[in-house]
Structures are given as structure tokens and as C-alpha cells.
Structure 1
Amino acid sequence: MPKEHPAQAPGTRGVGAAMSALVLAVLLAALDQTIVSTALPRIAADLDGFDDIAWVSAGYLLASTAVTPLWGKLGDMFGRKRLYLAATAVFLAASVACGLAQDLPQLIGARVLQGVGGGGMIVLTFALVGDIVAPERRGRYQSLFGSVYGVASIVGPLLGGVFTDQLSWRWAFLVNLPIGVVALVVAARALPAGVRGARARVDYAGALVLAAIATGLVLVTSFAGRWGWTSPAILGLTAATVALAALFVPLERRAAAPVLPVTMLTSRTVVLSSLIGFAANAAMFSVLVYLPTYLQIVDGVSATLSGVHMLPLVVGLVLSQSLAGRWAAHAGRLRLILVSGLVVNLAGLLLLSTVGAATGTVVMSAYFLITGIGIGMVPMVVLTAVQNSVPAADIGAASAVVTFARSIGAAFGVAVFGALLTADFATRTRDLPRTGGFDPSRPESLAQLPAAAQDLARAAFAHATGGAFLWIAPALAAGTVLALLLKQGRATAAGQAAGEPAGDRPAAKAGVRSRAA
């Protein structure tokens, strides 16, 4: 059965060129999840669509999550390079359509199409690392992408604000074109051609059901706070999603080439790693999304300065990503890295839950640094553990499973954190004057309150944020327990070339073929 082998990987210089293209692609896709946030008020005003503006972000998240498993499986079947180039082209074309949109329905439609391309870029990038890099070195290279995510989460909103204030919100989308074209050209020249996998009918039914499940999950997590967790719409979506999930497994068992092989759902490494990725991303995105708002409301800094204050977190994230990748490559102690990262991340969350208006800048920076170190040690190590535990022919599908779980975890974490924060803040400020239309989602509106009320609002927001961090902490605690259940060790190229799932096979002789985490 033909399949893509690491033996087709380019040389050292070629790996560098290929990785530079992949890093650029991940940067674009990651930025598009964050750069629009600060531009949304201006977009709503220009396109007269305040009621439906949330769909500009939700449409991208929904589409990118829903198509992830299909892109991964198609890459396994038809060769990842050609699918990657196609996904990048779709993303760039949709970026132009976003920048030229004349009304909100056009923009939302273009964002959905952009999510289709962006989801393919992300999952195929992760899978391509499995093609061009040996198993024992994947952790080092995957760590680059985690660092890019961390930087994008801070830089994205800042760039969105600069483009909106100095040029136009349309440049938040159009800026993708020159960078993306460079990435596309380099990728076309540097990526290995690959070989098609097994010739079989595409599992469109499974892909459609899985996309519907993803759609239900994203809609529930994105709009439960707006519609109400017990509203008929949310309850109906939840019930439909559960019913589709029950239908999915027997459907995939009958498929000739399932979009998500059932064996993935029975692999201890894949299942545990996906759950860990879900928990870690729920905590990570809660921190990255809400800390800038905290700084702007409680400390009274500008949007730009909030990014500067977040730099210790980014430094910790980038540093720990790099060290975790190198540690995994040389020692293969993936379980130890995951447990350490989750414990440090949990400690950071607990420290952040204690901050308030009286917390000094130095202390806050130390808390940010600790949190960043914990965040950086987990995501890409989880992906490396999964890739090293499956046959080479299933790397795309396995990468898609973890990416899917992490995307849902991010949406779930942000939704739950936001709901807890909003409810607690509303309770603490029920007696505040509402003149001036203060809205916590718009920190600049705080200035419209009377001076005494501003101090009360800041204190209430600080307490509400700390309480929300405490509620997120159990997710990381659960992830730590799951990480302890993972198998210790690492995979080798010999094991994957043999087509054996390294993480779930019996122990082999030392130095020949040991188990993946």
C-alpha cells in the first residue's frame, strides 16, 4: 500500500526552507483568529451590522474547526503538499474577498471560506512536519509553531488596532496576501512531493457528520453566553450534537477509508493526548483573550501598552516551547514535559487569581512569566506524542484529531471563562450607575462612569477575573492526571517506517524501538 514516507524528506537546507514557509503559514492562520478582534466595532459601524458582528469571528472558528479532520484525511490519501498548497490558495483568495466585502453577509461568507483554508493550513502544516522531520526531532520543530501561536495572540490585536486606526480595518485581511504569496512560492519549491496513500472513496458522509458535530460544538460554546445556556436554541443544539456523535462511530466503522479511523478513538495515546490538548487550550486561550482586557480595565493601560505588559508571558512561552522541543528530541521524556508544563501552568493560574488593582508591575510580570512557561510546554509536545504513536500513513488523521480537540477546547474555555466573568461582574456591579453605557467588552467605556464608580468597577472586574481563573484551574488539574497515564518514552523512524503505532505497542529492546509518550 503506497504511503508517504519520511525518506522523501528534503536535506538540511531544504528542511530550513520548508519550515520557514510553514511557519509563515501558521502565523497567518493564527493571526486571523486574533487580528480581527480589535477591528470588530469599526467593521460593525462601516457595514451596519452590530447585531450579527459576532459571526465574523465565529464563522472563521466554525469553518476552520469543522474541516480540520477532512483536510487531515485527504492529505493522507492524496499527498499533503498538493492539499496544503490548495488550502493556502483558498485562504489567500478568501482574505482578498474579506478585504473587499461591501456588506456584512459578504464578509461573513468570506470569513467562512477563509476558515476552510486556514483550518487546512494548520493541520497540514503539523502533519507535514511528520513527513520532513524524523520522529525524534519533531518536538523541536513543532515548538516553533507553538511560539508563533503565542506571539500571534498578543501581536494580532495590536496589529488589528493599528490597521483600524491608521489605515482601514480591511488591511487586517489584505495584509495576508503579500506574506501568503511568499509562503506559497517557498512551499511549492521546498516541500517534498510526497506519495499518494491508499486509493479509496472519500468518506464524505463521515466528513459531513463530523463537520456537523464540530458546528454544533462551536455554536454552543460561542453563543451560549449570548443566547443563554438553558435557552431552547442551546439545548437543541446540544441534543443534536450528542445524537450526531452517537451516529458517527458506527458510520465510520462501515466506511472503506474513514475520515477519522475508529482505531484513533481506541488508541490510548491519541485519546489521552487529545483530552490533554483540550484542557490545556481551554486554559491557555482564557488567559490570552482576557488578560489584555483585565490590564486595560483594572490597570488603566491602553490597548498597545497591554500588549507590552504581556511580553513576559510571551517570553516565557517562546522560551519553554524551545526548551521543551529540544528536551523531547534528546531525552524523549514527553510525559515528564507534559506533567511539568501542566503543573507550572496551574500554578500560574492560581497566582493570577490573586491579582488586583494593588498588584505591582514586577509581581504581575513574574506571574505572567510563570504562566507563559507553563503554557509553552504543552501544546506541541502533545502533538509530537501523537505523531510518534501512529503509522506514517495516519499522521494527517492523527494530527487532525488533536488539532480538532484543541480548537474545541479553546472555544469552550473562552466561552466558559467569559460566562463566569460576566456573571460575577454583573453581580458585583448591580448597584453601579449605568449612565454612559459602560461595557466590560469595551474597556474604553469605563471612562464614561463617574470617578467613584470607576474604582468600584475596577475592583469588581479584578475579583471576577480571579474567580474565573479558579474555575478554569480544575481543567488543568484533570489534564495533569491524564498526562500521568500516558506511556513514557519516544518513537523512532524505524518504528514508524514499519507502520506500527509506537505509543501503543509492547515495549521493545532498548536502543531499537521504544514506545512513544
Structure 2
Amino acid sequence: MTAEVDRPASVWDARFLWVTVGAVALIFLAAMQSLAVTTVMPVVSEDLDGAALYAVAFAGTLATSVIGMVAVGAWSDRSGPVWPLTTSVLLFVAGLVVAGLAQSMEVLVAGRLIQGLGTGGQTVALYVVVARVYPPALHGRVFAAFSAAWVVPSLIGPFLAGAVTEYLHWRWVFLGVAGLTVVAFTMVALRLWGLPLGTEHPSTARIGARLACAVLVAVGALGLSLAGELDAYAWAAVAASVVVLALASRPLLPRRTLLAARGLPSVVLMRGLIAGALFGAEIYVPYLLIEDYGFSPTWAGLGLTAAAIAWAVAADVQGRFGDRIGNARIALFGTSQLAAAALVAGATAALHLHPVVLIVGWALAGSGMGLMYPRLTVLTLAYSTPQNQGFNSSALSISDSIGAATSIAVMGLVFTALAGTDAAFPAVFGIAVVLAGLALIPGLRLGHAHEKAH
């Protein structure tokens, strides 16, 4: 099960099958739960009389995920990914159970905080599993499969969550995923526990300072999400939170990341910028369809289907032909498609074009992200050694979270400030265009590590 053994032709080879199936299932369930909660949280909030904590129920998971990423990254570098992955899955399941059984919004938020620790740690641990279990020639295929695991949830997650809530109860959105996660993890664990996934030279880096910084990053992320509640002081709160995020995140990222240094720093920086561009803007696509075109929530959510399918197709293309295309061209093609999608969305809002233009145009965003997202993960592992695979994987995920949180907060404030005018939607999509353009700067400095098949 290592690179030294004869290379199989596929991640579905018998030696990898249960690890691949289980890992993809864990990613699928995490995606399903994330999308489902967005659908059912209004019902949960009303049922538990928790409108005041509505935003924190989302922001808390994102914030604590950073702590999980850092802790699991360091732990994996010291002792391998098996125990960190096990602990992360246990925290994820525990958080779901607490939320599913909650009788008050405060308890549900506590469950979401626990869940965030597991979510962040699980992602990093799975990246390290890929690095230790699969040969480099298959890394692109694995991460393409991970990307594809988000497609089905994006197609059926909101609808399924609504049906479960209507015909059963919203609690099963949490409890059902908890049970299925145990099954998925069992597939992975039964295979991993018999493998020597440690390293002969484990990391000896101290973790205390990094964990303290992770806590500060979590505080900054929460501050960003709550800034809109401060009215006249909102922008001051955003500025303070951004400063805290910038200072606290530096020790958690590769050196010179914020300067777009060539190689791994640019990989990590680019990930944060494209995450900010896509996830910040995407929440306004169904909003625009509902607000300006009278779509129902169900049909507005289906408006993102084309982008989800395009993401999966592009991820598969990257997995098969990424080495031939080259990192610079992937960055150029991907950021161009992301910027074009945001431009089309902004033009649709400003000129009141037919909604089909928006839906088809936004598919370009999915295509661009499908090319870039898994490629950046492949590059991160290629630039890593067994001593820092955990740190680098956590840095990539942290950049992702910070980029998305910052962008969502800033776009939200801009949208609120311009609410009621024709400039609101074009403004937020314009921010996405700028972020996509900025992402090309580190994108042209990705370099090459050892991601190519030997």
C-alpha cells in the first residue's frame, strides 16, 4: 500500500478499495450535512426559539474547525493519521448527536462547535491518509473523487433535508448523518489499523503556540460573522477581525504565504483567494433568483446544479490530464472561468438578463474550481515531506476557511449597505471578480514539486 509497491492503475484497486470508498463516503456525508443544515436551520431556529444564535450556529462550526485542523495536522506529523482521524470522526459524530438531541439553541450551538472540531480535523487527517497510503501518481485521482463527492449532496442535499424535516423531523438531519458516518469510518478504519502509516522521523515541532494562534483565528472568524450585528461599528469590527486573522494565521501558514512566495506559499494563498471568490459569491446566486426572478427556494437551489456537475467533470479532467495541462495553465484557465462566471452574474443582475444566463454562466465557476481545487491539494502534498504533511494540509484548509469567512463577511456588509438599490448584487459579484483576478498572481507562481507521475 505504499509508493514502493507495484503501482495499481486505479484508486479502486483491491488494495485501496475500502480506504477509497470509506474516505469518499466521509467527505460525502460531511458535504451532505453542511448543505442540509443550511436548509433546515430556519426550522430549527424557530423550533428552539433561537433566532439570536442563528448566525453563530454556522460561524461556530467554521471557527472551531480551524482549531481541529491545527491540532490534527501537528498530531498527524508526530504519529501518523490513524488516531487523529479516529478522534476527529468521534468529535464530528458527538457534535451531530448533541445537536440532534438538543432541547435549546444554546445546546445545539455547543454541538455545532464540537462538530467543527471534528470537521476540520477529519479533512486534514484524510489528506495525510492520502499522502501515506496512495502513491503520488494516484493523488490527483483521489482528490478528484473527493471533489466529486460534493456533487451529489449539492444536487439532492437541500431537497432531501427538506423532505426529512417535513416527513420525519429536523433532528434526523443530524442523527442520520451521525449513524452513516460511523459506518463509513468503519470501512476506512478496518484497513488503516493494519498499516504502518507513521514515519521514521516524526515532527518534533512544538504545538502550543500554534494552537493559541488557531484559537485567535477562530475568535477572528467569529468576530467577522457577528460584525453585521454592530450596526455603526460593523466596519470597525471587520477591520479588527481581519487584523487578528492576519496576525494569528501567519504561524499557521507556510512562511511568506501572504507575500505569494513561489511554491507552497502561493499554493496556500491561491486556495484562500479562490475560496473567497466562489463561496462568498455563490450564496447570492439563489438569492438573486428568488429576489429578482421569483424562483421558489427549491428551484433556486437547483440553479446551482450546472455548476456542481461542471465541478465534478473538471475535477475528473484534472485528475486524468493535470500533469499534461500544467499548473500555470490550470491556474489561468481556472481563475479566468471563475472571474467570467462572476462577471456574467453581475451583468445578469445589473441588466436584468434572462435567469438562464445566470445559471449557465455560473457553471463556469464550478468548472474553474474543479480544475483548481484538487490540483492545489495535490501540489500541497507534493511539496510536503512525512514530517510536515499534517502542517501543510492544515494550512491549506485554514487558508480555505479564512478566505471564505472573510469574503462572506465583507460581501454581506456591502450587500446590506446597498440593500434596496440595483447595485447590491453587482457589487458582491464584482468583489468575486477582483478576488479571482488576485488569485492569478500566486497561481502563476505555483511551480512544480513532485506531483507528476514518475
> Do both share a fold (TM > 0.5)?
yes
What are the residue-to-residue correspondences of 1:51-200 with 2, within 5 Å? Answer: 51-153=52-154, 155-191=156-192, 192-195=195-198, 198=201
Per the alignment, residue 212 of structure 1 pairs with 215
Q: Cα–Cα, structure 1 residues 229 and 78, in superposed 2: closer, same or farther, change >3 Å?
A: farther
Q: Cα–Cα, structure 1 residues 492 and 470, in superposed 2: closer, same or farther, change >3 Å?
A: closer
Match of residue 338, structure 2, among 338, 345, 350:
345
- Rounded to whole Å, the distance in 2 between the matches of 1:23 and 1:143 is 10
Per the alignment, residue 277 of structure 2 pairs with 283
- Rounded to whole Å, the distance in 1 between the matches of 2:112 and 2:334 is 34
2:19/2:187 contact within 8 Å kept: yes
Per the alignment, residue 387 of structure 2 pairs with 393
Amino acid at match of 1:324: Q
2:56/2:222 contact within 8 Å kept: no
- Rounded to whole Å, the distance in 2 between the matches of 1:162 and 1:47 is 20
> In structure 2, the residue corresponding to 1:485 is in which secondary structure?
coil
Amino acid at match of 1:418: G
Aligned-residue offset at 1:479: 0.7
Amino acid at match of 1:487: G
2:48/2:103 contact within 8 Å kept: yes
Q: Cα–Cα, structure 1 residues 148 and 228, in superposed 2: closer, same or farther, change >3 Å?
A: farther
Q: Cα–Cα, structure 1 residues 419 and 280, in superposed 2: closer, same or farther, change >3 Å?
A: same
> In structure 1, the residue corresponding to 2:388 is in which secondary structure?
helix
Per the alignment, residue 464 of structure 1 pairs with 424
Amino acid at match of 1:269: G
- Rounded to whole Å, the distance in 1 between the matches of 2:411 and 2:156 is 22
- Higher Cα radius of gyration: 1
Q: Cα–Cα, structure 1 residues 100 and 372, in superposed 2: closer, same or farther, change >3 Å?
A: same
- Rounded to whole Å, the distance in 1 between the matches of 2:77 and 2:444 is 30
Cα deviation code 1:88-113 (max 9, x no counterpart): 12211221111001111111111111
Structure 2 residue 403 is the aligned partner of structure 1 residue 409: yes
- Rounded to whole Å, the distance in 1 between the matches of 2:272 and 2:286 is 22
Unaligned runs of 5+ in 2: none
Amino acid at match of 1:414: I
Number of aligned residues: 445
Match of residue 363, structure 1, among 350, 357, 364:
357
- Rounded to whole Å, the distance in 2 between the matches of 1:79 and 1:468 is 42
Cα deviation code 1:453-482 (max 9, x no counterpart): xxxxxxx4xx52122111221111111122
2:154/2:305 contact within 8 Å kept: no
Aligned-residue offset at 1:18: 0.7
Aligned-residue offset at 1:162: 2.6
Aligned-residue offset at 1:150: 4.8
- Rounded to whole Å, the distance in 2 between the matches of 1:335 and 1:229 is 43
What are the residue-to-residue correspondences of 1:248-287 with 2, within 5 Å? Answer: 249=251, 268-287=262-281
Q: Cα–Cα, structure 1 residues 103 and 281, in superposed 2: closer, same or farther, change >3 Å?
A: same
Aligned-residue offset at 1:186: 0.3
Per the alignment, residue 41 of structure 1 pairs with 42
Q: Cα–Cα, structure 1 residues 159 and 465, in superposed 2: closer, same or farther, change >3 Å?
A: farther
Per the alignment, residue 477 of structure 1 pairs with 437
Q: Cα–Cα, structure 1 residues 243 and 469, in superposed 2: closer, same or farther, change >3 Å?
A: closer
1:229/1:235 contact within 8 Å kept: no
Per the alignment, residue 298 of structure 2 pairs with 304
- Rounded to whole Å, the distance in 1 between the matches of 2:64 and 2:91 is 13
Amino acid at match of 1:286: G
- Rounded to whole Å, the distance in 1 between the matches of 2:264 and 2:131 is 15
> In structure 2, the residue corresponding to 1:425 is in which secondary structure?
coil
Per the alignment, residue 446 of structure 1 pairs with none
- Rounded to whole Å, the distance in 2 between the matches of 1:362 and 1:46 is 36
Aligned-residue offset at 1:140: 2.0
Aligned-residue offset at 1:367: 0.8
1:136/1:490 contact within 8 Å kept: no
Which deviates more from structure 2 when the two are superposed, residues 105-114 or residues 266-275?
266-275
Structure 2 residue 384 is the aligned partner of structure 1 residue 381: no
Amino acid at match of 2:86: L
1:197/1:393 contact within 8 Å kept: no
Aligned-residue offset at 1:488: 4.2
Q: Cα–Cα, structure 1 residues 9 and 281, in superposed 2: closer, same or farther, change >3 Å?
A: farther
1:315/1:372 contact within 8 Å kept: yes
Q: Cα–Cα, structure 1 residues 9 and 87, in superposed 2: closer, same or farther, change >3 Å?
A: farther
1:270/1:402 contact within 8 Å kept: no
Amino acid at match of 2:447: K
Amino acid at match of 1:53: Y
Q: Cα–Cα, structure 1 residues 147 and 220, in superposed 2: closer, same or farther, change >3 Å?
A: farther
Q: Cα–Cα, structure 1 residues 386 and 25, in superposed 2: closer, same or farther, change >3 Å?
A: same
Match of residue 326, structure 1, among 307, 310, 320:
320
Output the TM-score relative to the length of structure 1: 0.79
- Rounded to whole Å, the distance in 2 between the matches of 1:407 and 1:359 is 33
Output the TM-score relative to the length of structure 2: 0.89
Which deviates more from structure 2 when the two are superposed, residues 212-221 or residues 474-483?
212-221
- The CA RMSD measured in Å over matched residues stands at 2.8
> In structure 1, the residue corresponding to 2:114 is in which secondary structure?
helix
- Rounded to whole Å, the distance in 2 between the matches of 1:376 and 1:336 is 14
- Rounded to whole Å, the distance in 2 between the matches of 1:234 and 1:25 is 34
> In structure 2, the residue corresponding to 1:359 is in which secondary structure?
coil
Q: Cα–Cα, structure 1 residues 481 and 73, in superposed 2: closer, same or farther, change >3 Å?
A: same
Q: Cα–Cα, structure 1 residues 197 and 48, in superposed 2: closer, same or farther, change >3 Å?
A: farther
1:345/1:375 contact within 8 Å kept: yes
- Rounded to whole Å, the distance in 1 between the matches of 2:390 and 2:151 is 23
- Rounded to whole Å, the distance in 2 between the matches of 1:213 and 1:476 is 27
Cα deviation code 1:416-461 (max 9, x no counterpart): 22222222224x2xxxxxxxxxxxxxxxxxxxxxxxxxxxxxxx4x
Aligned-residue offset at 1:69: 1.8
Per the alignment, residue 226 of structure 2 pairs with 223
- Rounded to whole Å, the distance in 1 between the matches of 2:309 and 2:441 is 27
